[in-house]
Amino acid sequence: MDQIANPAPGFQRNPDKIITVEPYAGTVTVRVGDVVIASTTKAKVLTEAPYPAAFYIPFADIDFGKLGRTDHSTHCPYKGDASYWSVLPAGETGQNAMWAYE
> Which residues constitute the domain of residue 40?
9-100
Length of the chain: 102
- Quick check: is 1 in a domain? no
Task: Give the number of other Cβ atoms within 10 Å of residue 33's Cβ.
Answer: 7
Q: How many domains does the chain have?
A: 1
- CB-based burial, 47-62: b 16+ in 10 Å, e otherwise: ebeeeeeeebbeeebb
List, for residues 20-31, the tens digit of each pLDDT value: 999 999 999 999
pLDDT in tens, 70-97: 999 999 998 899 999 999 999 999 999 9
Structural domain contains residue 65: yes
CATH number, domain containing residue 40: 2.170.150.40
Q: Is residue 4 pLDDT above 80, yes or no?
A: no
Kindly state whether residue 3 falls inside one of the protein's structural domains: no
